[in-house]
Amino acid sequence: MIYFDNAATSWPKPEAVYKAMDHCMRYVGANPGRSGHKMSVEAERLVLNAREILAEIFAVEDSSRIILTFNATDSLNLGIKCMLRPGDHVITTCFEHNSVIRPLRHLEQKGIIELTVVNCTKEGILDPRDIEKAIRSNTRLVAVIHASNVIGTIMPAEEIGEIVSKYDGVYYLIDAAQTAGVFPIDVKKYKVDLLAFAGHKCLFGPQGTGGLYVGEGIEDIMPSLKEGGTGSLSEQEVHPDFLPDKYESGTKNTVGLAGLAAGVEFIMKTGIEKIHAHEQELTAQLIEGLQGIKGVTLYGPQDAKKQTSVISINVDGFRSNEVGYYLDQKHDVMTRVGLHCAPLAHKRMGSAPDGTARLSMGYFNTAQEVDAVCQAVSKLAKSGPQT
């Protein structure tokens, strides 16, 4: 069985993740931060531990700036919907995931915002000067994916941060769903105001975990998305306005957060550079292997230094779902096919409406697996119309 669907959710997880979740479920199953008894206090400690280790991995000094959510979509909806006011203008790119594009289009359709979608090359390469050219007097937010979930292209996050920081009243949101955990991210270096991430991808947490970093001062201008029980200031009928409670309410996914903390600890112990280097090697190997197969079209930069370990292909004579079905049924290779919640990216790449077969690797994949996948794709290509 070969799992090449890590861009959707990473699997397997480090052993410590399973252990931490099992321990939490069995022995620390109380509600965090609500009741004052020992088990509840211990559950709150697990939540705090997750918040602190996440702050560390993104070089955030104050861990209360890490808002714990249930996935990247949750984080993006919070950041986008709460930052924007009627009449605001937003700049984004044509390589965004639907969890950025859809909340923005929703606000646009309601007549609340104006939206500019900046073009990229078909390899997903963005010229940061195009972001600057699109800035208007009413621009409030620049929302950019850190790396494409379809072809892996890494965006010039630092350069965009430099540009945005020159303009008063313009804020910068990065969707780091595909990079958090595998790519060193320093919120100060990127000059980012809002950084959304998923816990269940490269950070090795379970599904149902994610977060949003909220930059200094943002809490003064960004209202909450939902209000409710926080376990703090319970005598008040209005929601607390301090971090992180302002943006967190309701019972947390404590078990998931215990797993996520163990995942991040694993990354810290292993070294993000080592993880990144391994994935880069696999990416280079897969690109080279696939480039040598007649009848296979590769999308994206085709350069391991310019992308994450996500590669999209098509095979002549087959629809993308047939490629995925063949790999799964005949070779036990798990991929994801279709549009990957990024229809604009596929339109730009010329692969809409059928999409592509996406092969996405993680730290636990091996060179042998890459070879096996190349052989499987080669077999399919040979059975196609080219030969």
Nearest to 88 by CA among 175, 203, 209, 170: 170
Nearest distance from C-beta of residue 15 to ligand PLP, angstroms: 23
Q: Which is nearer to ligand PLP, 40 or 149 (CB)?
A: 149
377 binds ligand PLP (CB under 6 A): no
Size of the site for ligand PLP (CB under 6 A): 13
Residue 181 near residue 264, CB atoms below 8 Å: yes
Stretch touching ligand PLP by CB under 6 A, among 170-178, 255-263, 283-291, 314-322: 170-178
Nearest distance from C-beta of residue 149 to ligand PLP, angstroms: 3
Q: Going residue by residue from 192 to 221, which x/- string records binding to ligand PLP, judged by CB under 6 A?
A: ------x-----------x-----------
Residue 261 near residue 252, CB atoms below 8 Å: no
Stretch touching ligand PLP by CB under 6 A, among 70-78, 108-116, 258-266, 331-339: 70-78
DSSP codes, 30-65? SPTTTS-SHHHHHHHHHHHHHHHHHHHHTT-S-GGG
Residue 175 near residue 195, CB atoms below 8 Å: no
**Vertex 49, ends 16 and 175: CA angle to 5°?**
85
Q: Which two tokens mark 259?
A: 């797993």
Q: Which helix (H) or strand (E) holds 202?
A: none
80 binds ligand PLP (CB under 6 A): no
> Which residue carries 């816990």 as its tokens?
199
| Buried residues in 246-277 as b, exposed as e (16+ CB within 10 A) | bbbbeebbbbbbbbbbbbbbbbeeeebeebbe
Nearest distance from C-beta of residue 383 to ligand PLP, angstroms: 31
Cα separations in angstroms, 123 against 67, 97, 108: 33, 16, 27
DSSP state of 297: E
Nearest to 382 by CA among 292, 298, 311: 292
Q: Which is nearer to ligand PLP, 135 or 352 (CB)?
A: 352
Q: Going residue by residue from 95 to 114, which x/- string records binding to ligand PLP, judged by CB under 6 A?
A: --x-x---------------
Nearest distance from C-beta of residue 310 to ligand PLP, angstroms: 9
Nearest distance from C-beta of residue 8 to ligand PLP, angstroms: 6
Q: Which is nearer to ligand PLP, 97 or 239 (CB)?
A: 97
Q: Which is nearer to ligand PLP, 199 or 231 (CB)?
A: 199
Options 104, 145, 170, 349; binder of ligand PLP; rule CB under 6 A: 145
71 binds ligand PLP (CB under 6 A): yes
177 binds ligand PLP (CB under 6 A): yes
Binding site for ligand PLP (CB under 6 A): 8, 71-73, 97, 99, 145, 149, 175, 177-178, 198, 210
